Structure 1
Amino acid sequence: MKKAYILAKRYEWEEFGKFFRENKELLDKEIDLHKSTAFHYAAHSGRPSMYKEMLEMVDDPIGIQHVLRLQDDMGNTPLHEVAFVGEVEMTDHILKYNDDDESEQFEPLLFMKNNLGETPVYRAAALGKTKLLQHFVCVLNIDLSPHFHRNDSMSILHTAVIDQFFGTALWLLKTYGDQLADLEDDNGLTTLQLLATMPSTFRSQTQMGAFKNFIYPSKSLPTSIHLEFQQQALLPKYQDYQFYQDEEPIKRREDLESGEKGINQWSHPYQGNHSAFFWLWYSMWKAMAKEWKGIEKLWRKKEMHKLAEELVRLLAEKDKSWQQTSIATDRTVSMGKKKDQASEKQEEKSKDQQKHAEKPAYTPLLMAACNGILEIVEVIIRFHPQSIEHVSDDEQNILYMAVKHRQLEVYRLLKKLKMVRRLAGKIDKLGNTVLHYTAEFQGGHQPGYALQLQEELHWFERIEKRLPYHYTIHYNKEDNKTAKQLFQEKHNDLLREARNWIKETAQSCSAVAVLVATVVFAAAYTVPGGTDDNGLPRFLHHPIFLVFTIMDVVSLASSLASVVMFLSILTSPCEMWDFRSSLPRKLMAGFACLFFSMATTMMSFSATVLINIKLEKNKWTSTLTYSAAFFPVSIFAMMQFPLYVAMRGCLRSTLKRLKKITPRYIRNLLKRSKRKKIWDI
């Protein structure tokens, strides 16, 4: 069977069929090490006529029933392989033999399971073959209920969601929603809870570059066509893998093996009347997607996001899990307890029990809040506004989840709904306020330890402002500490790293600033062009000489200012709360002065060159000179740009302080006349 194996791997299906026409006795023999037969391989050929011909080569009625039930080492029959490809016509050819009289003594083909307990129908759903599923249900009138589960209790809907075939999942949910929506897997997760653990399938948790963020949304389109593009500006509506079409079967098999699908192979996704501008816009993006893989990937990603959002909308509407809430017991503020040896041992035992205790089962709303999936949180609150006050078994609410896992957008949503103060006025089972959960360092998003610590301090301060004042002096049960004490203890390692990082950075930058100051100071006494007999510069009244003088003075002043800033950092004690605003503000000012001094130094250098070689009248040469001079400055700016972006929080805090000292009547004049509705999510 070596020749048949090689022909199949080369996709030479004409020769493959010819080989078995000449060797019919080998049709039920194993071709490879995985016990696959000719019918397993022929399922991937994309040629229903050849498959039908191979089936007709088996003359014995009992023999054909036996051949169609041969399983490979994974337990897959030829029908399982056909379901893998999604071939409707091949499926009909196989199932035609399932109705013969001889098949009554065998197990029905549609109910044969592989090693995972998957029937061919289940396998078709797991691989996103929606057309084949529709054929099973609508044409063959097959009841999908017996195919809902496999051996590990994973439902057909769970599998489609895990494999991210959201188009198939939508069809299943719309067809069998009442039976599938509330099913749970082995971990006790419903489909909505499963989606709440998949943040990468939603836009709010997908990191993109500046260009992708620019072309992804459709809100910037003209108003007249905004509604038409709002849901499908770049994507086909409910487009999924089953809608891919190929002109050549061999090409489809190659794409299937490599996992690639070209956007030029998509069937036309729109039915209905649309404007001419719409068709032009769609055609433009389709043409660009053919040429640039990045646009095609973004298109596919946005398609996945839209399908996932639609799936969430259907599931959230039927979700009732939020109704099963615990009672948040009212607890008074604790001022701490004195410890003796017996109580310490008892506390250690209780801590060990808590560590080994099972985590409470959270609702989809709380799980989505943990992972920052704003789409799920918003939809559930829109359908069920009361769910925002749901309390878990450990007496924690949605605010606890957002604070514990540093989900700023979820917190902002709660703040917009005016619910933060209400939700913050609770103490959970362990005696922790919501402020205690800011102590757990989850890893920062900013570059540099100092800026990560600043981010943590901002987060602590943000929550502290919304907490009832007397809760800040509350001692928890587990550690017998206030939130601030626990925060400082848990962030000691980060503080140590932040000190080292900011001092090393300040020391390196101050050395560079001193070097720049030395150069520009020496340049002030080396006049370009020399002096005359009276000691005056020869180009005193030349415009470029004026540029040189101003830039040299500004560069010297900026470099010395940056030296002062960096020295103030080096001499600072670097206490934890200094990283809140003081130290980052000094670092930002030092960077800004250093960058400005380097830029003005290069401008004075360019002016000197132009004076000495007298090229001021040649515009092209002057432009090239300035461009060459600013090349190192540009590199410095690009390398330090992430730090400038990260320190924009310092600028925001400065603006907030200015806002506080601004009279109220002026602030009211600057506010918008129309405010958004609070609960209009």
Structure 2
Amino acid sequence: MAITKTQDLNINSNLYRALMSEQDDLVIDICRQIPKGPLHTVTIHEDTVLHMATYHKRTNLALKLLDMVSSCDYHKLTWQNTGGNTILHETGTNNRTVKVAEEVLRRAPMLLSMTNKEGETALFYAARHGKSNIFKFLHGAVSRSVEGPDLKTFLHRDDKFTILHIAILSRNYWIAHMIAITYPELIREKDADDMTALQLLSSTKPEFHPHGFFNHMLFRLVLNFSRSVLDANIENRETVFFLKKRWKQKHAQEWAYKLAKLLIEEDNSWEETESWTDKRVTKILAHSGTTSTIVAPDQKNILANHAIFHKPDTPLLLATIHGSTEIVREILIRYPQAVEHVDKDGRTILHLAILHRRHAIIDVVEEMEYPLERLKGRLDKKYNTLLHMVGYKEEELKEDVKHPAEELKIDQRLYERVEKLSPILDTMTRNSDQKTPSEVFSDTNYERRAEAKEWMSENAKNCSIVAVLIATVAFTSVYTIPGGTDDDGNPVLKDKPMFLLFTFADAISLSSALTSLILFLNIITSQFKFTDFASSIFEEQYTALLLLIISVTMMMVSFAATLILTIISGSEWTTDLTLYGVIFFPVLVFILSYVPDYLRITRDLYKSSKKLKEKVAKKYHKFWDYKPQARHPVARSVHLTTRSPV
């Protein structure tokens, strides 16, 4: 008896509800009552019940449903939904359905080579989802049954994307490394965007090491602890999940590093780069005081084609743009000559590192003495020097949005750093817009400086009010001594230990508040030049804030000492402890609010002192056994000298 449209809708609703609520027995009962059974399409995308059970990791249910399919209907297991995915494709979305995949292939082996509408086999689909266990199973099945030219179906998609490309995008670097080892011919193949696997990896910014000292120490503790805990098969699911997550993170970082090294060794796309002298389409007639653009006849076609399509940048430049410092370092260790790569606009690695504010990559190049000399003074095709690049900034989405004053400080310090690296001529060089680096920097940051000035002025004014209030309270406390005075004018409680603490705390609070007030007033009356943001004005602000924190803290100490002297003297220690906690809670919140800023200042000071020490050691290395090339792995690998090029 045929099922009506209304009955079909009711069956689908009941099946879908039972699948989502994990009522396996109800799903099986419904399937037994309908003609198609487990092969009944239940969604608007024509997914069967088997599709849904497999996709939602319901292994036991999927195996029971497979047993309900008679041997004469095995060919129906090749059903594809609207996206072209078979049941075997759905097993590639998770690692819990290896048994399902095994049983499906035993019944319908032709599923292994079937592709969906994007030209993906189940193996390709597993690589796309980055699932290691099911990928290993399917890869084993392919290796046993397919060889020669037929392998292309499993390794390529219709849009020229290879399985290596898709594994890198899925960020399962173990799968990607396995593919690169098994099929090395894929390493140099390019996708529709003319990108090799290494270029794609350079654009994804993989993590090779835990960032930050705290994360690094936590990582090591977790790994050491997890070896014993995981082996003990503990039942605490939260602990197991936490440890398993850290293991996966460590596993991914290790294989990302191995994959990067393998691709860098085998991929020769680093050899293809633009010329830094060819195809310049502008000429500046500086002597006439005007700017004219001269386009050669043979350049018109180049410009037209260039606007439509251009080759992607080399892996080194892509890694620089996306901040993959480790990949940059590995490429320069392997191929130090790649440091002279330029992009379609004639920009070198330093141009791009400055433009995208990749300070760590600037550090890497700066350590390479000879290549650094080669890159100094280079101009891009618009005659921009390295100093011009500081004035420009690639706007990107950032997780840590900084206030305008801090951004201006970072940019101004970068300008001073690049200025020290650049030849003197670069400070006077005009680009195709007839602007010097300082003019570009001023024009770009004009509005930001106004915003930074307003932010710092308002901040200083508000903090000045707080400093005045604290100073007033501290000054008044001197004339309202706890316990009062005797007939001779001497403090009654002067022999108490807490009275001495009160005196010192009140004096420190008053002096700190007044000193911070002076510094805040100095900030308010500052001219707010660009150079001020890189030096004095920020040090004054953080010093004033630190003094204000000390002043508030000492005021709380003074208040606590007064209470102990006059009110709670002789009470129980638990009462004292509770009161201390209540008193110092605002101070704790105030301090914690500014801890990240002061930690950042401490790191900056440490880095500055370290660089100064290296410069001094380099200058006087003749007096002791100091080798500049031993400072950095890139410099060590190429045995660079300090001699400038002729």
TM-score normalized by the length of structure 2: 0.82
* CA deviation string 1:275-323 (max 9, x = no partner): xx99548658988884275554343333222222222121111011122
Greater mean alpha carbon deviation, residues 411-420 or residues 553-562: 411-420
CA contact (8 A) 2:119 2:157 kept: yes
**Residue number in structure 1 paired with 2:207:** 202
CA contact (8 A) 1:584 1:650 kept: no
Q: Secondary structure at the match of 1:144?
A: helix
Letter in 1 for 2:260: V
Quote how far apart the aligned CAs of 1:494 are. 1.0
Superposed, 1:388-399 pairs within 5 Å as 388-399=339-350
Judged with a 3 Å threshold, the aligned counterparts in structure 2 of structure 1 residues 358 and 573 are, in CA distance, closer, same or farther, namely: farther
Quote how far apart the aligned CAs of 1:326 are. 3.5
**Residue number in structure 1 paired with 2:569:** 615
Quote how far apart the aligned CAs of 1:344 are. 8.4
1:452 to 392, 402, 407: 407
CA contact (8 A) 2:390 2:415 kept: yes
Alignment partners' CA distance in 2, 1:376 and 1:578: 36
Quote how far apart the aligned CAs of 1:571 are. 1.1
Quote how far apart the aligned CAs of 1:455 are. 0.8
Alignment partners' CA distance in 2, 1:145 and 1:124: 16
Alignment partners' CA distance in 2, 1:163 and 1:653: 36
Alignment partners' CA distance in 2, 1:606 and 1:544: 9
Report whether the alignment pairs 1:438 with 2:390. yes
Quote how far apart the aligned CAs of 1:84 are. 4.0
Alignment partners' CA distance in 2, 1:306 and 1:660: 31
Alignment partners' CA distance in 2, 1:584 and 1:527: 38
Alignment partners' CA distance in 1, 2:513 and 2:420: 39
Report whether the alignment pairs 1:8 with 2:19. yes
Judged with a 3 Å threshold, the aligned counterparts in structure 2 of structure 1 residues 88 and 420 are, in CA distance, closer, same or farther, namely: same
Letter in 1 for 2:64: M
Report whether the alignment pairs 1:132 with 2:134. no
**Residue number in structure 1 paired with 2:43:** 32
Gaps of 5+ in 2: 1-10, 638-646
**Residue number in structure 1 paired with 2:173:** 166
* CA deviation string 1:427-484 (max 9, x = no partner): 122111111111123468674321221111011111110111222111111x211111
Q: Secondary structure at the match of 1:234?
A: helix
CA contact (8 A) 1:446 1:646 kept: no
**Residue number in structure 2 paired with 1:591:** 545
**Residue number in structure 2 paired with 1:516:** 470
Q: Secondary structure at the match of 2:223?
A: coil
Quote how far apart the aligned CAs of 1:616 are. 6.8
Quote how far apart the aligned CAs of 1:498 are. 0.3
2:487 to 514, 533, 541: 533
Judged with a 3 Å threshold, the aligned counterparts in structure 2 of structure 1 residues 302 and 658 are, in CA distance, closer, same or farther, namely: closer
Quote how far apart the aligned CAs of 1:212 are. 3.0
* CA deviation string 1:607-652 (max 9, x = no partner): 2222223627965555544443322221211122333344447856
Query: Identity, % of aligned pairs?
Result: 29
Report whether the alignment pairs 1:474 with 2:429. yes
CA contact (8 A) 1:370 1:402 kept: yes
**Residue number in structure 2 paired with 1:404:** 355
Superposed, 1:315-464 pairs within 5 Å as 315-329=263-277, 336=286, 338-340=288-290, 343=292, 361-418=312-369, 419-442=371-394, 447-464=402-419
Alignment partners' CA distance in 2, 1:140 and 1:335: 69
Letter in 2 for 1:412: D
Alignment partners' CA distance in 2, 1:71 and 1:656: 63
Letter in 1 for 2:348: N
Alignment partners' CA distance in 2, 1:656 and 1:641: 22
Superposed, 1:124-273 pairs within 5 Å as 124-127=126-129, 128=131, 129-141=134-146, 143-178=150-185, 180-199=186-205, 201-203=206-208, 211-216=214-219, 218=220, 234=223
Superposed, 1:301-316 pairs within 5 Å as 301-316=249-264
Alignment partners' CA distance in 2, 1:72 and 1:514: 73
**Residue number in structure 2 paired with 1:502:** 456
Alignment partners' CA distance in 1, 2:418 and 2:196: 32
Letter in 2 for 1:306: E
Alignment partners' CA distance in 2, 1:40 and 1:289: 29
Alignment partners' CA distance in 2, 1:40 and 1:555: 72
TM-score normalized by the length of structure 1: 0.78
Judged with a 3 Å threshold, the aligned counterparts in structure 2 of structure 1 residues 466 and 600 are, in CA distance, closer, same or farther, namely: same
Judged with a 3 Å threshold, the aligned counterparts in structure 2 of structure 1 residues 449 and 287 are, in CA distance, closer, same or farther, namely: farther
Q: Secondary structure at the match of 2:596?
A: helix
Alignment partners' CA distance in 1, 2:344 and 2:94: 45
Greater mean alpha carbon deviation, residues 598-607 or residues 495-504: 598-607
Letter in 1 for 2:46: K
CA contact (8 A) 1:154 1:186 kept: yes
Alignment partners' CA distance in 2, 1:559 and 1:371: 45
Greater mean alpha carbon deviation, residues 489-498 or residues 622-631: 622-631
Gaps of 5+ in 1: 100-107, 222-232, 236-276
Alignment partners' CA distance in 2, 1:52 and 1:614: 78
Alignment partners' CA distance in 2, 1:40 and 1:278: 36
Alignment partners' CA distance in 2, 1:459 and 1:505: 25
2:598 to 639, 644, 667: 644
CA contact (8 A) 1:447 1:642 kept: no
* CA deviation string 1:133-158 (max 9, x = no partner): 33223433455322222232222222
Q: Secondary structure at the match of 1:305?
A: helix
Letter in 2 for 1:297: K
